[in-house]
Amino acid sequence: MKLNANKIIDKLKKLGHQIYIVTSRTFASDDNAYGERMRKIVENSLAKNKIHYDKLIYTNETDGKVKGCLDNGVEILIDDSPRNLIEVGKYIPVICFSDKTNHTLKTENMTRCNSWKDIFRVINEKNDKAKK
């Protein structure tokens, strides 16, 4: 997990934001024993890292995160995968958590952040604009 993720997510929750985790972890959306095992791994990792959330959404690799976001009313996606940022960014704003796999990526509807503190600031700015 990224540094300060749990602290910033908790701050966002206290401000009234709903935290939906959308994952396309391999096999986790499968309806079988292996899928169940993969879901347990994800859930245990989130618990171990003290990541509190309102809903955990498993998507398959074919549908990607677009369907998971749109079906659940996700308003902003935070991700580091270029594929997810490009695809989901066609429908809703995305925050790119900058890393070596996406450092040159530029796509519509995207804001680049280098830390969870940056993400907190960006979400608050977007929230303030929406209230006006």
CA dist 29 → 14, 37, 39, 54 (Å): 29, 11, 8, 18
SS3 state at 124: helix
The closest of 127, 14, 23, 8 to 76, measured between CA atoms, is 127
For the entire predicted model, the pTM comes to 0.90
- Which residues have CB under 8 Å from 26's CB, separation 6+? 38, 61
Sign of the C-alpha dihedral, residues 49, 53, 55, 57? negative
Segment 96-113, tens digit of pLDDT: 999 999 999 999 899 999
Segment 28-72, tens digit of pLDDT: 888 899 989 999 999 999 999 999 999 999 998 777 899 999 999
